[in-house]
Every structure is written in C-alpha cells, then in structure tokens.
Amino acid sequence: MKRFEIGDCFFPLSRKDGLEDDGSNFIETERRGPVVIIHLNRPEKRNAVNAKMASQLTRAMDAFLNDDSAHVAVLHGRGGHFCAGADLEEVSQRDPQQLLPDPESRGTGPMGPSRMVLTKPVIAAVEGFAVAGGMELAMMCDLRIVDHSAVFGVYCRRFGVPLIDGGTVRLPQLVGFSRAMDLILTGRPCPATEAYNIGLANRLVQNGKALEAAIDLAQQIAGYPQECMIADRQSAHHATFDAKRFFDAVQFEYYNGSGVINHEAIKGAQRFMEGAGKHGSFENLNDSYKKKMSKL
C-alpha cells in the first residue's frame, strides 16, 4: 500500500480483494497534514456502494488507521450527496450469500469498513442523501457535520433490505431507543434540522459548507495531544458499546486513561501553569505540538 503524501494529493489504491479491476476509482483520498479526507467518488449513482467501492473504502480506511502520521479522517461524498446506500442494481443481480459478511468478521460489511474497530476519530461531512447504508456509514463516524440539504433515513425499509452495517446498533445509542424506532420502523426521511435536534448530527452548517467545516474540526482535533484524546475516545466507546455494568466502564476508563498521565497530562499541567489555556481559552494551547506536526 502506498503511503500517504503530505500536502493536497490523491493516490491510487492497490488491489488485494480479488475483484476484477476495471480501472474504476470509486474512492479518492486527499491529505491535509495530519487529516485524511476520504471521498466517496461515484456521484452519478449518488455514491451508492457496490462491491468494488466497498472494498476500496475498506482499504482506504485501513490505510488511514495504520498511518501513524494521520490522526483524523473526514468521510465525504462527491457530487452533492453523501451516500444513497447499497447499489440496489448490483444487489438485485447477486447471489444473496455474496452480499453477506462472515458473521464472525470484525472487519468488513456490505458497505465496506462498517464492522471495523476504528481506533482514530472519523468525521462525516454530510450533504444531500445519507440514507440506508449511507446513513450507516455516517453513523460509523464519531461526528457528523451536516448542511441544510442533508437527509437521513432508513430508506431501505421500502424494499426489505435490512440494516446489517451497524445501523440498529449505533442509531439507538446516538438518538435513544424511542427515536431510533421511529426512524427504523417507518423508514421516513429525517431532514438536517431534525437530525441536529435529536443528536444524529453534531453540527449544522450552511449549504455547501459541510466539508470545509468538517476539515476545520478535524484539524482542531488533530492538534490536541493524541495519546490522551485516543484514550478518552476508547473509554467512551467501551462504556457505550462493551461495558455491561457502570463499574466495568469506570474501571476500564481508569486503567485506559491512567497510562497517559506520565506522557501527556503532567506536561499539559505544566503548560497551564505557564499560562496556556487560561480562562478556558483554546488559543495557542499546544504550539510545540502543532509546530512538530507542521514539519511532517
């Protein structure tokens, strides 16, 4: 796999999935310092995901997760839509067994990396449709930045296509069981304003500004001390999806976070005593870290 290059650039993905390569480039990846932007690039199909696109997306996400200099990813759909879900034309022509992942797999699902354990923050920049499997890809991300054109919805309800890319697991955790049932059972559209009000969207921005806002937020997150941020993120994921009891969650949080104290927390406290971050300011918080990252 070719390593990412610094600066704004695109790179081809190597093939390791056994699918016939027809030259289609359904995923394009752009680099902005420590931020990776992964573009879904099938705009003529509203970025509906077929098998080749799912494979390319999985490999792009895997490359991001295994690149130590890449700290945050932004997932974005080209052409005014995030993702319209699975390519139903392909689904209609395939053997059902070919569409199903290994139930024991912790990696790929029909939409690509939906079953992967994401160990770094990923932000979805959503405009237009993020429906069916596309909604599942957006929910796979830690944060969703949406513009006013965005529409979520379990549109696959109309055709008997189930949510098997984590949708029934993540949606109740994001918006609560009652609201999740409303969306899952009816398949109705959930426009941007409602998505923001119920917590499905984290930021609501002007039309055409979702990608820019997501990159700005990613740069901010990438500028923080990473070991501590990753530990806190992991603890939150564990408490939400893995822990069965409150004490299990807080115990995991303690052991997961305590190792950061010597590496980052003491140095951070020293910076505070030197004047950084006073009165709640986020300005000039970690200049030495940012200077180091700018040289990569």
pLDDT digits (tens, 9 = 90+) for 163-182: 889 999 999 999 999 999 99
Q: What's the mean pLDDT when you consider all of the chain?
A: 83
One domain for residues 214 and 232 = no
Q: Which among 68, 58, 76, 55 is positioned nearest to 4, based on CA atoms?
A: 68
pLDDT of the residue at 224: 94
Tell me which of 26-35, 47-56, 57-66, 89-98 is least confident.
89-98
Q: Pick 5 or 21 by higher pLDDT.
A: 21
Mean of the pLDDT values across residues 95-114?
Answer: 70
* pLDDT classification of 243: cutoffs 50, 70, 90: confident
One domain for residues 196 and 259 = no
One domain for residues 179 and 253 = no
Q: In what order do the strands lie in the sheet with 72-77?
A: 27-32, 35-40, 72-77, 122-126, 143-147, 203-205
Contacts of 226 (CB under 8 A, 6+ apart): 71
One domain for residues 245 and 265 = yes
The backbone torsions φ and ψ at residue 187, rounded to the nearest 5 degrees and listed phi first, read: 70, 10
pTM: 0.82
Most confident of 82-86, 91-95, 114-118: 82-86
* pLDDT classification of 97: cutoffs 50, 70, 90: low
pLDDT of the residue at 251: 72
* pLDDT classification of 104: cutoffs 50, 70, 90: low
pLDDT(6) > 50 = no
* pLDDT classification of 95: cutoffs 50, 70, 90: low
Strands (DSSP E) found in 84-196: 122-126, 129-131, 143-147, 151-153, 190-191
| Residue 250 in domain | yes
pLDDT of the residue at 10: 35
Place of tokens 């740069």: 219
| Residue 8 in domain | no
pLDDT of the residue at 260: 72
Q: Are 210 and 146 in contact (CB under 8 A)?
A: yes
One domain for residues 194 and 251 = no
One domain for residues 232 and 259 = yes
Handedness of CA 15, 49, 202, 211 (dihedral sign): positive
Q: If residue 74 lies in a helix (H) or strand (E), which one and from where to where? A: strand 72-77
Cα–Cα distances (Å) from 186 to 116, 164, 173, in that order, read 28, 17, 18
- What token pair was written down for 245? 């009891």
pLDDT of the residue at 108: 77
One domain for residues 163 and 255 = no
* pLDDT classification of 18: cutoffs 50, 70, 90: very low
pLDDT of the residue at 160: 84
- In the chain, the number of structural domains is 2
Burial degree of 10 (CB within 10 A; 0-12, 13-18, 19+): middle
| Residue 7 in domain | no
We report the CATH number of the domain holding residue 51 as 3.90.226.10
pLDDT(272) > 70 = no
